[in-house]
């Protein structure tokens, strides 16, 4: 999750590595994208959402959180109410 004062977008990464390796990968990909680690809170492990908008394994996404948010349990991803998913737009075309 990006700190509000940073102006950065939230980032999502999924990988089948252990949490420590996933954190290292996330840090590397954030830096590679030009982001500063100080602009982000520590990563958290969540439940795995099975949705079309999930990026490929090992790929950083800065758009996933445009469509999904963590529920109050901070573990489960839910679609943001009122937001049209890109997969829905493509199906309608």
d(CA 23, CA 44): 9
Asked whether the beta carbons of 39 and 6 are under 8 A apart, the reply is yes
The model carries a pTM of 0.83
Q: pLDDT for 9-24, tens place per residue?
A: 999 999 999 999 999 9
Domain that holds residue 29: 4-92
Would the pLDDT of 69 be above 50? Answer: yes
Banded pLDDT at 89 (limits 50, 70, 90): low
Which whole-number Å values give the CA distances from 41 to 3, 6, 46, 83, 86, in the listed order? 7, 11, 15, 25, 27
What is the rounded distance in angstroms from the CA atom of residue 42 to the CA atom of residue 10? 12
Higher-confidence residue of 91 and 3: namely 3
Give the total number of structural domains in the chain. Answer: 1
């Amino acid at each position: 999750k990006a700190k509000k004062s940073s102006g950065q977008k939230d980032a999502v990464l999924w990988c089948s590595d252990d949490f420590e390796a996933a954190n290292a990968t996330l840090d590397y990909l954030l830096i590679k994208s030009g982001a500063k680690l100080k602009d982000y809170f520590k990563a958290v492990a969540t439940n795995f959402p099975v949705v079309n908008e999930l990026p490929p394994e090992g790929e950083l996404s800065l758009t996933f959180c445009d469509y999904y948010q963590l529920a109050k349990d901070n573990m489960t991803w839910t679609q943001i109410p009122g937001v049209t998913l890109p997969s829905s737009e493509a199906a309608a075309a």
